[in-house]
Structure 1
């Protein structure tokens, strides 16, 4: 078709009306959506202001400076005379404790269960399958209730009269219905001389890791083995341990006195039940993620490795898992976020996590909106931090086109 005929056709049919122009309709739809959102937000804000006016209240976070007037038995030191801000900090720290320990242990459980499900051993494979299907298809809250009321609280007492009846594990570690009492390192008087060695070890390890990464980007292969990074991280503190007089850290061992364990550190039965429940539950989902990642690796890779004489463990460690990580990491981020947010179910078994402490603050102060904004901000900050770290890891392990 010639330009003259195209122009004639356009004049004949005329321009497209604006109410039929898809570009105009898209802009109008977006404007309408923004107007609706602003209208709803304005109505909610006006309703909240009316609610505040009826009760002679104002939107403010100054209540955080006031005395909390309640006690918290779990977490960092807290007294009833401390402020609401301190109480909220206790809840945040308790949630971080559960989330950090849970993420590490759930990853290990999921890795083992995912590999076991692909095992050629019939018994191992079916045990892993039963575990995964059972845990994934039952509610987490029900599992927490079962672990807390039917398992943890049914453990033997710590001590009856003059006999220790708790389950004694190596350490010594005492497992009872009062929780888990285990040894814990405590800084001694010479710890101040030793901590600079820890900082130096971290700095040297990071520098070596960066140099190794740059070598990979420049030549396609690392300049040196990653083992040197690990050696530097542990060797420098070991040298400091030998140089500094005395022991910078002292192992505080729990001792049973009366009906309590003195020394070491004691994890409450609520903390043990919550952590165990989150690990078992999230580990089942991570196992499926690991299984999918392993199955995504081409079979030719493992067949070639077997032809070269690699053992099954070497194939898994050197061939399969490094390639499977590229598939595993993205969905693994979601599981880490789920574990962190699922910790709010701790209120069901009485653990003083972020939500449980905030609920007490809400009842004491009457600041509903302020407290819930703090809760959402805290969980959002944790989730974004986890996502940031894991996305950095994900970018590092992706295949870079050269």
Structure 2
């Protein structure tokens, strides 16, 4: 079998070359399925969504020895979709032509997260070659709807697996979690996301006759100030305090002499386990009512927080990182949401581990070539510690 550096690097380059701007997969999953099927994985395509926004999903599973089927089911998860490139003229090279410069591999998705997926597949190939009768099972859950609305991706696969009674015991998501050096940070949880849209009613009128109108912006301003100053909770040992932020504020007709009739505010809570979505909603409504606002609210729960306490998966992954890099990894729950919020609903142990994240979603996204072989080795050694 080809050694890790050339195999993982070559597969990463193949994936980067496939244009897979969300929700499109660009043929990535067919390539992955062919590699996995060749080493005994049963592969299923689970497409979802409307025709004009079709999402590709892949579930692949390989069982080990029949005598050792009671071992854990360890899943590698990730996404083949990437964010848009931004202005092409600002890239030093074509974002869909994998390019090497000064020891770095450039291309959209290099860090987030096609290199991780390539390393996971190569790790599985090497592990199966060395341990064909391994314990338990290895799974791959890959979607093309992580960077988009995330309505037809991982959440649909989780539902499909649940309907079929498929057990998941541990999951590693290949999100780019490293900060300065490979393996220096692993995410063992993420905050929840609760988004709201508030519409405050006023009375439209001529700006010269304010006594005949009611300006919703003026009515709203003190409430926003109180909400922004509110300490929603103090966080806990695993999560920072909850934050509340306004993302958009819309009002007015476009004319300079008209008091608007309504104001629309988009806002978001990022919260840990110290607060629930319900408690945050109740407290926000109480502020609006205290200020006497004529309002309506629409809520979207993007995901609840999840947390994986130290156990077999964290021990195996942290041990693998130390074996490969000599580093002691830091557990963290910082950053945005990920598909871990869906997987954690059916899997007790979910962590994220991947390359350095400094260039994700940026122009000239890249990953250090020297990190690719060690990342594949980290994934392979985790398999060995849990399933060999």
Quick check: which one's helix share is greater? 1
Quick check: which one's strand share is greater? 2
- Would you call these one fold, judging by a TM-score over 0.5? no
Higher relative contact order by CA 8 Å / sep ≥ 6: 1 or 2? 2
What range is the shorter-chain TM-score in? under 0.3
The TM-score with structure 2 as length reference comes to 0.24
The TM-score with structure 1 as length reference comes to 0.23
